[in-house]
Amino acid sequence: MYKSALTGKSQDDLTYYLEEPYLSDTYDVLYHNICIEPYPLLFDRADVIYSELVWEAGFEKLRAESPFEGSYKDYLDGIIRVINDLQKPTFIVCSRKTSQYLTNNTWGDRQTFYNFIVPSSENTNIFITYCDSDLLDEFRSNRFFNSEILLKYLSSRFDRCLDFCCGYGEHLLKNFNNFIASDVNRHCLGYLVNKIKE
């Protein structure tokens, strides 16, 4: 279920706000409404996609925190458009229901594999697509009990990660030297840029 990315942040943290994209040699941070907007061309600079999606039950709370156009179906269809167009190795952490929707609506020459991130959380899946068989075999041979382990693995295999639902992005800062981060919440993005500049 959706939990605000800014939960536990101080009032000072909530004052950050991203007006314009922050672009550098290593970190790109930008606002993007994945529900209705074409994806930015710089997304293609990533060599892997990782994102933790909002659960459907929490989608309206997300919209209340950072108003934007689009339904939950628009949100998922926008994600599918990006995945299909980029055709990069993709790892999406999501609910079982959302994973099934992605499976039924993602097309292309790809292999798909599912795995629970947390064995005790039977409603949490990883949706994986556009990975070659060697990468899938390597993934199957590792045990990913949580997203931190998965992120460490991905950062050891890939150079630049795209997260199109990045929240405040601290997981990217912790694990990747290069990333592209986007979200619909400008406060989260402003917070991330401030962390980058510290």
Domain boundaries, the chain: 13-197
Could you tell me the pLDDT band of residue 190, with boundaries at 50, 70 and 90?
very high
Cα separation of 98 and 56, whole Å? 8
CA dist., res. 90 & res. 79, Å (int)? 11
Structure tokens, 74: 């628009």
Mean pLDDT of 39-56: 96
The predicted structure's pLDDT at residue 9 = 60
pLDDT in tens, 71-115: 999 999 999 999 999 999 999 999 888 988 988 887 766 666 665
The predicted-structure confidence for 173-185, as pLDDT tens digits, reads as follows 999 999 999 999 9
* Mean pLDDT, rounded, for 131-155: 82
| pLDDT given at position 156 | 94
Overall CATH class of domain 13-197: alpha beta
CB distance 182 to 40 below 8 Å: yes
Distance CA 130, CA 88 (A): 6
